[in-house]
Structure 1
Amino acid sequence: MDRLWTDFVNSDYHDWRGGDRSEDRLGNASWQQDFLNRWQLEAPVPASIEEESTMRSFRDDLQSLAIRLSIGTPFTEKDQAWLNDFMRAGEVIRRLVLQEQGLEVALVPIHAHWVQVMAEVAADFAMTLVEGEGKRIRSCDNPDCRWIFYDDTRSRTQKYCDDKMCGNLMKVRRFRAKRKLNSNGEKSET
């Protein structure tokens, strides 16, 4: 399940197949626009150099926090203050809106800029923690991938961001390593 915060954190792409290709998508205007459209957010595109720098720092710190939580490190007061600072920067107003299911009170952003976007990302991450689902935050077991994901499986045992890509790749790597070990370790009969 893709979440706003995982989509943002995973903008730092690394070749999951083990190649040396990587791409920091935060600086790509088309990625920025697609991200905003996908999550129904607004900000000027392209982001300024200063905004990109702030977003990179925020992304890297959020990724680090997610990885720490995924290995069982407790959430600290310092982490809480850091998230609160980012959420505070994203001012919202309450507005009554009509949805297909009926009336709803929505939090509507006051500003349309990247600070607001980071506030929404921080809020989505915080909601993951509030809902008690921080233990479902995972880092892909494929060391080449580096993606952070939310484990939405019933058993809470998902190891890879995608079983068909990283999962299959790692299965093939294990099989080949085992086969190589067996072929080197077998005694020949003479």
Structure 2
Amino acid sequence: MDRLWTDFVNSDYHDWRGGDRSEDRLGKASWQQDFLNRWQLEATVPASSAEESTMRSFRDELQSLAIRMSAGDLLTDKDQTWLNDCMQAGGVTRKLILQEKGLDVVLVPMHAHWQQVIAEVAADFAMTLLKGEGQRIRSCDNPDCRWIFYDDTRSRTQKYCDDKMCGNLMKVRRFRAKRKQATSKEPGEKKNEI
């Protein structure tokens, strides 16, 4: 299940099959527009070069924090201050609205720019931590992938971002490595013919 913050962090794409292809999607106007549409956020597309630089810096820091959390590290005071600063940069107002279930008070962004988007991404990450679910943050066990994901399985044992892609790839790699190791141990032995 994608979350706002994982979708943002994973804009730094690496070929999960082990190829040399990697791509920083954050700088692509098409990715920016799709991201904003998917999460119902507003900002100017394409982002300015200064905004892109700020977003990359934020993404790299958030990715680093997520990797540390996936390794079992705890949130430090410095991390907490950084997240608070990111969230504070995006102001919100409260608005009373009528929904299907009745009246509700919602937080509405005050601005439509990329700093507001960063604040929303930081808040989504903070909500993951607030719900005590920081232990469910994972980094894919496929070393070529580098994808960050949220483990929503009941057992909390998910190793790969996608079992059908990275999971199967790593299973095949382990099988081939075992097979290669087994054949290299038996160079002088004849195989039984049936």
Q: Give the percent of matched residue pairs that are identical in Structure 1 and Structure 2.
A: 81
1:144-183 alignment runs, 5 A limit: 144-183=144-183
CA RMSD of aligned residues (A): 1.0
Amino acid at match of 2:151: D
Larger radius of gyration: 2
In the superposition, the TM-score normalised over structure 1's length comes to 0.98
**Per-residue Cα deviation, 1:43-95 (whole angstroms, up to 9, x for no partner):** 00000000000000000000000000100111100000000000000100000
* Distance in 2 of aligned mates of 1:53 and 1:11: 14
Which secondary structure state, in structure 2, belongs to the residue aligned with residue 104 of structure 1? strand
Amino acid at match of 2:189: S
Alignment of 1:36-185 (within 5 A): 36-185=36-185
Q: How is 1:10-29 mapped onto 2 (pairs within 5 angstroms)?
A: 10-29=10-29
Partner Cα distance (1:159, 1:153) in 2: 11
List gaps (5 residues or longer) in structure 2.
none
Shift of 1:102: 2.1
1:27-49: per-residue Cα shift (whole Å, max 9, x none)? 00000000000000000000000
Distance 2:143 2:36 in 1: 29
SS in 1 for 2:17: coil
The whole-number CA distance in structure 1 between the counterparts of 2:7 and 2:118 is: 12
Q: Give the whole-Å Cα distance in 2 for the aligned partners of 1:100 and 1:175.
A: 53
Distance in 1 of aligned mates of 2:53 and 2:99: 37
In structure 2, the partner of 1:34 is: 34
Q: Between Structure 1 and Structure 2, how many residues are aligned?
A: 190
2:189 match: 188
TM-score w.r.t. length of structure 2: 0.96
Q: What amino acid maps onto 1:188 in structure 2?
A: E
Deviation at 1:189, TM superposition (A): 4.0
Runs of 4+ in structure 1 deviating by more than 6 angstroms, as ranges, are none
Question: Which 10-residue stretch deviates more, 91-100 or 160-169?
Answer: 91-100
How far apart in 1 are the matches of 2:19 and 2:181?
Answer: 24
Report the Cα distance in structure 1 between the residues aligned to 2:62 and 2:108, rounded to whole angstroms.
23
Cα deviation for residue 101 of structure 1 reads: 2.3
Q: Deviations over 1:12-39 (max 9, x none)?
A: 0000000000000010000000000000
Q: Distance in 2 between matches of 1:124 and 1:170?
A: 30
Superposed CA offset, 1:124-143 (max 9, x none)? 00000000000000000000
Residue deviations 1:128-174, cap 9 Å, x none? 00000000000000000000000000000000000000000000000
